[in-house]
């Protein structure tokens, strides 16, 4: 099945515009009447250190509200960002957002297994939802999120920031335009040595799995956006060397996806060591890739013909949020809809099944 998130033509069109530093909507990008109000739901590391600062640099968005279970954080954010009391919620009062026209979007930034709960609450309150990756911890929950937003006639997007990152988009162009000929093989991996053994990322109930769910998803995404295709078969192996720390989720997992036409993609994700942060794509007449590929800044691309891949280092979160705001303002679909998040969760569940059973899983 072809990836339906963007047709090849649309992807080339939008990525070329992004690479050129032009507005993604070209001439259709009307001046907004007002900025889209975002409420951040879950004020942890990502919200604090990336999303809230990025919001200050966006063109079409503003930080309008917060959802937090911690009163001390509410007071801190209120003071720092001048958030009025009527825009401060906790997880139990989200329904009251229905009466608040200042908030257009809820950006869900909680642990993975809590995404569905807040997404459904936000949709029922009549808000659009931007939800962090991975979308949720099961296909069924992803589907409930899609259904809730569809029923509420609200947009749902997943926080796949690299779909807005010029260097990644350039690699997609190289692949889709077959600049080095037909792709033959992809390798991709992402991993780091995780710290605090008590954190939710090591708790299966909250995380849904280990490094695959958290960072392997980037390598999986690279395989899918480079090929523009969906895998038909998956095999996988997982391994743990530190059973004290990794008793609930895997420490390291590697997987292989087979795509229609026979392309094989090999992936790896780990929490056990400061591992790869890269992808390489091998084609008939050469290769290209990125390392680092998935960081917030400092991404570097390479091509076997010596040409550089060195496009602007943007704020990926600002680009992602501005694009979502423009989708709302101009009533157009997002390139990273809930269906895209669900596809990854489905493949990751198949990777876990293949690792558990030792057998290839057909998708």
Residue 192 contacts ligand NAD per CB under 6 A: no
Please say which residue, 136 or 229, places its beta carbon nearer to ligand NAD: 136
Residue 216 contacts ligand NAD per CB under 6 A: no
What is the nearest approach in angstroms of ligand NAD to the Cβ of residue 231?
22
What is the nearest approach in angstroms of ligand NAD to the Cβ of residue 182?
31
Among 127, 133, 335, 343, binds ligand NAD (CB under 6 A): 133
Q: Give the C-alpha separation, 205 to 222, whole Å.
A: 26
Give CB contacts under 8 A, 24+ apart, made by 111-115: 111/42, 111/200, 111/201, 111/206, 111/207, 112/136, 112/137, 112/206, 112/207, 112/208, 112/213, 113/137, 113/205, 113/206, 113/207, 113/208, 114/42, 114/206, 115/141, 115/145
Residue with tokens 């949020």: 321
**CA 243 to the chain's CA centroid:** 29
Among 37, 65, 159, 211, binds ligand NAD (CB under 6 A): 159
Among 4, 69, 71, 312, binds ligand NAD (CB under 6 A): 69
Instruction: Let me know: does 347 contact 220? Beta carbons within 8 Å.
Output: yes
Q: Give the C-alpha separation, 173 to 170, whole Å.
A: 5
Please say which residue, 118 or 287, places its beta carbon nearer to ligand NAD: 118
Among 6, 43, 64, 354, binds ligand NAD (CB under 6 A): 43
Q: Site residues for ligand NAD, window 234-293 (CB under 6 A)?
A: none
Task: Lay out the site mask for ligand NAD across 79-118 (x = CB under 6 A, - = otherwise).
Answer: ------------------------------xxxx-x----
Task: State the catalytic residue, choosing from 89, 107, 218, 352.
Answer: 218
Residue 46 contacts ligand NAD per CB under 6 A: yes
In the three-class reduction of DSSP (H, G, I as helix; E, B as strand; rest coil), residue 284 is classed as: coil
Alpha helix segments (H runs only) across the chain: 8-19, 45-46, 52-55, 71-81, 115-124, 139-151, 166-176, 204-207, 211, 217-227, 316-329, 338-357
What is the nearest approach in angstroms of ligand NAD to the Cβ of residue 264?
27
In the three-class reduction of DSSP (H, G, I as helix; E, B as strand; rest coil), residue 114 is classed as: helix
Instruction: Let me know: does 329 contact 32? Beta carbons within 8 Å.
Output: yes
Q: Is 133 a catalytic residue?
A: yes
Among 200, 264, 300, 360, binds ligand NAD (CB under 6 A): 200
Please say which residue, 200 or 282, places its beta carbon nearer to ligand NAD: 200
Please say which residue, 161 or 335, places its beta carbon nearer to ligand NAD: 161
Considering just the CA atoms, what is the radius of gyration of the chain in Å? 20
Please say which residue, 284 or 313, places its beta carbon nearer to ligand NAD: 313
Q: Which stretch binds ligand NAD (CB under 6 A): 39-47, 164-172, 180-188, 272-280?
A: 39-47
Q: Is 352 a catalytic residue?
A: no
Which helix (H) or strand (E) segment holds residue 106: the answer is strand 105-108
Residue 163 contacts ligand NAD per CB under 6 A: no
What is the nearest approach in angstroms of ligand NAD to the Cβ of residue 201?
8
Instruction: Let me know: does 185 contact 222? Beta carbons within 8 Å.
Output: no
Please say which residue, 45 or 93, places its beta carbon nearer to ligand NAD: 45
In the sheet where 36-41 sits, what is the strand order?
A: 88-89, 61-67, 36-41, 105-108, 128-131, 156-158
Task: State the catalytic residue, choosing from 89, 107, 127, 133.
Answer: 133
What is the nearest approach in angstroms of ligand NAD to the Cβ of residue 345?
12
**CA 329 to the chain's CA centroid:** 22
Please say which residue, 128 or 201, places its beta carbon nearer to ligand NAD: 201
Instruction: Let me know: does 186 contact 265? Beta carbons within 8 Å.
Output: yes
**CA 222 to the chain's CA centroid:** 11
Residue 42 contacts ligand NAD per CB under 6 A: yes
Q: Residue numbers of the site for ligand NAD (CB under 6 A)?
A: 42-46, 69, 109-112, 114, 132-133, 159, 161, 200, 206, 214
Q: Which residues are catalytic?
A: 133, 218
């Amino acid at each position: 099945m072809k990836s339906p998130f963007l047709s090849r033509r649309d992807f080339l069109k939008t990525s070329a515009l992004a690479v050129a530093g032009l507005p993604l909507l070209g001439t259709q990008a009307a001046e907004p009447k007002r900025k889209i109000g975002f409420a951040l739901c879950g004020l942890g590391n990502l919200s604090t250190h990336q999303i809230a600062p990025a919001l200050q640099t966006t063109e079409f968005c503003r930080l309008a509200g917060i959802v937090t279970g911690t009163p001390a954080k509410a007071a801190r954010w209120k003071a720092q960002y001048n958030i009025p009391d009527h825009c401060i919620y906790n997880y139990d009062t989200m329904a009251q957002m229905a009466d608040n026209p200042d908030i257009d979007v809820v950006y869900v930034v909680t642990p993975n297994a809590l995404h569905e709960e807040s997404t459904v609450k936000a949709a029922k309150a009549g808000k659009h939802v931007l939800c962090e990756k991975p979308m949720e911890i099961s296909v069924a929950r992803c589907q409930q999120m899609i259904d809730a937003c569809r029923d509420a006639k609200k947009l749902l997007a997943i926080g796949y920031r690299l779909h807005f990152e010029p260097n990644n988009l350039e690699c997609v162009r190289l692949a889709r335009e077959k600049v080095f000929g037909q792709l033959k093989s992809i390798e991709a991996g992402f991993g780091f040595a995780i710290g605090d053994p008590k954190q939710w990322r090591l708790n299966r109930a909250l995380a849904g799995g280990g490094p695959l769910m958290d960072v392997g998803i980037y390598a999986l995404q690279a395989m899918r956006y480079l090929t523009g295709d969906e895998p038909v078969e998956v095999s996988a192996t997982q391994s743990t060397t530190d059973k004290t720390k990794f008793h609930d989720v895997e420490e390291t997992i590697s997987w292989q996806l087979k795509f229609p036409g026979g392309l094989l993609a090999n992936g790896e994700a780990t929490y056990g060591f400061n591992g790869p942060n890269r992808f390489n794509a091998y084609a008939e007449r050469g290769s290209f890739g990125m390392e680092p590929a998935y960081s917030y800044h400092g991404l570097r691309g390479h091509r076997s013909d010596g040409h550089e891949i060195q496009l602007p280092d943007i704020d990926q979160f600002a680009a992602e949020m501005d694009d979502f705001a423009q989708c709302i303002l101009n009533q157009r679909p997002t390139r990273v809809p809930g269906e895209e998040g669900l596809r990854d969760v489905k493949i990751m569940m198949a990777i876990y099944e293949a690792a558990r059973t030792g057998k290839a899983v057909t998708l």
